[in-house]
Amino acid sequence: MAKKNLSRIILGWIVLIIITALIGRVSIAAPVGGQTAADFLNIGVGARPAGMGGAYSAVADGALAAYWNPAGLTSIQSGEISLSHFAWYQDVSVEHGSIGFRLSDRAVMAVSITFLNYGQITRYDANGYEQGEIDAYDWSGGASVGLRLSDNIALGVTGKFISQKLDDISASTFAGDAGLKVDLEWASLAVTVNNLGSDMVFDNVSEKLPTSVRFGVAAWPFDHWLTTSFEAEKRFNGAMVLRNGMEFSWNHMYFLRAGLNIFPGDDQRSFSSGLVMGAGVRFAQAGFDYAYTPSDTYSGQDLHRLSVTLGFGY
């Protein structure tokens, strides 16, 4: 019976991959780039979520849940620190740090920061002479609270400050996220609203935030040694994004992951460019995760993400 159920799950996951890819290839909309400000908020953080294709709102747990679904913070037993590094293309990188700690039997709080470094950008004058370097970076800092309403229902909210700077032009604003997570016997359901806030104003030009809503489902029918997940995200000023992922666990210590994410509004992404692979290991209160994207379409490079998780206060 177990083998039969496993076959059905794997077959179902393969079908989801095919459907995701087909929808992603045929549902072509107008390009969405440049429609919103602070697009770095859509990059995603953490090697484990990336290794599962970003289908993580229903899986989200630990300190990283502050980004993916603050309702998942309630899984923290005492305290946890998460640090992530994403080497994007050329010398662009994304750094993320979050720390969560339990306030009571039902409440957990977390603070987090995400920093996008554009690397060195040379300034030139009208005659083409170098004039030093330009400061360019984006960052967001937030505070989150996760509250368990019952044994299987949790709610979370995040308030955050968002800032972008390019040379002498900058903009900032406040925004919020909200998430709901329902834990069933062998599955979880989730819905989140992300980046809901006022416009950012650059030199009298107003641009909207990348607000979106996500619906996710995850299942683990075999004592959590296999996790499958699927997620649909609708961006208020963009197209649909579809994701799914799978994680295999051995002895709850060693992990292998694979995922697929498709951006339906982008006809430049091929089937393979959305594939992601990952691995992880857990030892006592420490965890290490890695994710790999082969031949990313936009950069033409292989992408690498690293994360470290540390528990404390047990």
Confidence (pLDDT) at 299: 55
pLDDT at 31: 37
3-state SS, 99-143, equals: EEEECCCCEEEEEEEEEEECCCEEEECCCCCEEEEECEEEEEEEE
What does the pLDDT read at residue 176?
95
Tell me, what's the pLDDT at 28?
Answer: 27
296, pLDDT greater than 70: no
pLDDT in tens, 172-225: 999 999 999 999 988 999 999 999 999 888 878 888 999 999 999 999 877 778
What's the confidence (pLDDT) of residue 249?
93
Assess whether pLDDT exceeds 70 at residue 166: yes
Beta bridge partners of 311: 80
What is the pLDDT at residue 32?
44
Task: Give 5-20 pLDDT, tens digit per residue.
Answer: 545 445 455 544 444 4
Ranges assigned E (strand) in the chain = 79-87, 93-102, 107-117, 121-124, 130-134, 136-148, 153-166, 169-183, 187-197, 200-202, 205-207, 212-219, 226-235, 240-250, 254-262, 275-283, 286-293, 303-312
Predicted pLDDT at 207: 87
Residue 272 above 60 pLDDT?
no
Q: Which position has the higher pLDDT, 293 or 48?
A: 48
Higher pLDDT, 67 or 19: 67
Q: What is the pTM of this model?
A: 0.83
DSSP 199: P
Please compute the mean of the pLDDT values over residues 285-299 and round it to a whole number: 80
